[in-house]
Structure 1
């Protein structure tokens, strides 16, 4: 295997910020450039790659850069077959796919010009005609080849079909001009034929998250050619002083913990190297406001329990970086009530104490969860557990009647989850949840406390 060195670029900086190297044995390493380390606006690429001289050896570098590749197999498989590359040849794959990494980073052959630059609405985008948009959505829905000239949506992480596009100031959809390097502003997620209501479910869940005061990405269910898709505003975009669209550096919790995408669930790791609450605590304590970040994570955890989202894994939580390396928790995104799908597991992405499902959550499990987040006072932990569970449950219960108009099963699921959690904690159950039907699964089962 030949030596391979690649420039690592971060949108907003003129020069490469570092070098990613593969040696003759296939091991990889990463090191920051000295000029970048001396820049007062420099931010680390990851909490797992602090701003030091380095270099970072294979384990740390491999985990972070592997996360820049897509999770779905389409473009990866094509490049692997065409170039004769193995899946673990991260550098070789990024040589061909690195210009389209998700976010503000790009990994390019050494000496290449920047592949990502700010986007000018007037110059850098071409509107997408309605019939072309409908063809794109239909192809994503049916899992068939995209229309001619449309790139595979491989830069986006996750296993759902989705494509990145831009919404112009006049509301029209557009795509960046080929070769412009301009950012997109939105993600269009398209469910497959077996999950036609997922866009509606996720839109409702994210709307509830916002209504309860949690910082959440904007998302709207959008019918396109008879197929309902989900339009999500990207939280990792901003505007510069010239009004151009710019990318904001972000990383997900898998990257921050130095875990590959394959270890995004706690159950796939081992103690000391997994997505668990003790690891999450380490991330939250490095943000600019650890107390607020912990509060937001606690709220997200209880909210997900109650709306039936068992897929809040390490790649569905993220951090946003500010100039100078300040880090804050990103808005929530990818909140789907997975318990509505009987084919999916109800096992939680990370344990709450010893509890691995909602039905196993007890006062002692919640107490252990709060303790793992660093809350030492036992009486304080009990008060917090009772307060957060009650406040979020009662707030959700107040929206059940409105939710029932379009999504009765979802409303029934939330009510059943409220009864289960509050019952276990011996908290009064709100009338709106107590009086609802039990949640009926399509498999014929039912869930209630």
Structure 2
């Protein structure tokens, strides 16, 4: 195998900030450029790749850069076949796909000019005709190849069918002009034929998240060609002084922990190298306000338990970076009540104490979870145990009637059922609105509760 050197670029910096190198054995290493390290505004790519002069060897470098590639098939499969590459040849794949990495990063052949630049609404985007937009959505809905000439300008993680695009000030969908390097502003998620209601379910879950005070990405359900899609405003976008769209550096928790995408669930790792509460604690303690970040994460965990989102894996939480390296817990995104789908596991993405499912969560397990997150005071843990589940449940209880009116009764019943289970186990009062609702019955006819 030939040695391959790639430039690693970060939006906002004129020159490459580092290099990704593949050796003759196929191992990869990453090193920051010396000039970049001397800058006062130098920002680490990741918590797993702190600013340092020494190169990062294969295990750490591979995990981070592999996370820049999309999880689902499509263009990745095409490049593998066309170029005769193997899936573990991260550098070889990024040689061909690195210009379109998700986020503010790009990985390019050494010496290449930057391919990602700020975007101007007036000059850098082309409106997508309605008939072509319908064709794109139908292809994603049926999980078929996108129409000729359609390129996803920002390959996205996850297994859901989705495409990145831009919404112009007049509301029209658009895509960056070929070669412009302009950022997209939104993600359009398209459910497949077996999950026709997913856009509506996710929209409701995201709206509930915002209503209960979580910083949450904005969403709307948009019917296109008779298919309900979910339009999500990207949280990793901003505006510069010229009102141009710019990318903001972010990373998900898998990247922050140095984990490959295959280990985004706790059950797939091992002690010391997995997405678990001790790892989550390390991430949250690196933010500008660790106490606030921990409180948000604890409340988000309880919220997810109550709405039936068991898919809060390492790629569904993220960090946002300011220039100079200040780190913030990113807004919530990808919140889907997965327990509405009887074909999916009821196992949690990360354990609550030793609890692996909702019905195993007890006061003792919640206490262990809080302690593992670094809540050292027994009095503080007791207050959180009594306060957070009750507050979140009351907020959700106020929304149950409205959910039914919006024709998502199954979600309202699921939330009420989960309230009775969790609050009952916590020995806390169950809101009247939840006590009076039907028990949730899975969409295939099976009971959620045994």
Q: TM-score, normalised by structure 1?
A: 0.99
Q: Secondary structure of the equivalent of 1:194?
A: coil
Q: Deviations over 1:178-213 (max 9, x none)?
A: 011100000000000000000000000000000001
Q: Secondary structure of the equivalent of 1:258?
A: coil
- Residue 132 of structure 1 deviates from its aligned partner by 1.2
Where in structure 2 are the equivalents of 1:78-97 lying within 5 Å?
78-97=78-97
- Residue 70 of structure 1 deviates from its aligned partner by 0.6
Query: Which whole-Å CA distance do the structure 2 matches of 1:152 and 1:105 have between them?
Result: 16
Query: Which whole-Å CA distance do the structure 1 matches of 2:76 and 2:209 have between them?
Result: 34
Q: Deviations over 1:216-253 (max 9, x none)?
A: 00011111110000000000000000000000000000
Query: Which whole-Å CA distance do the structure 1 matches of 2:153 and 2:13 have between them?
Result: 25
Q: What does residue 223 of structure 1 align with?
A: 223
- Residue 35 of structure 1 deviates from its aligned partner by 1.1
Q: Is the contact between residue 152 and residue 164 of structure 2 (CA under 8 Å) also seen in structure 1?
A: no
Q: Does 1:200 align with 2:207?
A: no
Q: What does residue 436 of structure 1 align with?
A: 437
Q: Is the contact between residue 74 and residue 145 of structure 2 (CA under 8 Å) also seen in structure 1?
A: no
- Residue 293 of structure 1 deviates from its aligned partner by 0.4
Where in structure 2 are the equivalents of 1:108-257 lying within 5 Å?
108-152=108-152, 155-257=155-257
- RMSD (Å) for aligned C-alpha atoms: 1.0
- Runs of 4 or more off by more than 6 Å in structure 1? none
Q: Is the contact between residue 146 and residue 152 of structure 1 (CA under 8 Å) also seen in structure 2?
A: no
Q: Does 1:418 align with 2:419?
A: yes
Which ranges in structure 2 are unaligned for 5 or more consecutive residues? Answer: none
Q: Secondary structure of the equivalent of 1:446?
A: coil
Q: Secondary structure of the equivalent of 2:388?
A: helix
Q: Secondary structure of the equivalent of 2:194?
A: helix
Which ranges in structure 1 are unaligned for 5 or more consecutive residues? Answer: none
Q: Is the contact between residue 47 and residue 256 of structure 2 (CA under 8 Å) also seen in structure 1?
A: yes
- Residue 84 of structure 1 deviates from its aligned partner by 1.2
Q: Is the contact between residue 75 and residue 154 of structure 1 (CA under 8 Å) also seen in structure 2?
A: no
- Residue 24 of structure 1 deviates from its aligned partner by 0.7
- Residue 442 of structure 1 deviates from its aligned partner by 2.6
Where in structure 2 are the equivalents of 1:322-337 lying within 5 Å?
322-337=322-337
Change (3 A) 1:368 1:311: same
Q: What does residue 320 of structure 2 align with?
A: 320
- Residue 444 of structure 1 deviates from its aligned partner by 2.3
- Residue 73 of structure 1 deviates from its aligned partner by 2.1
Aligned positions, number: 449
Q: What does residue 409 of structure 1 align with?
A: 410
Q: Is the contact between residue 126 and residue 176 of structure 1 (CA under 8 Å) also seen in structure 2?
A: yes
Query: Which whole-Å CA distance do the structure 2 matches of 1:350 and 1:153 have between them?
Result: 32
Q: What does residue 75 of structure 1 align with?
A: 75
- Residue 146 of structure 1 deviates from its aligned partner by 1.2
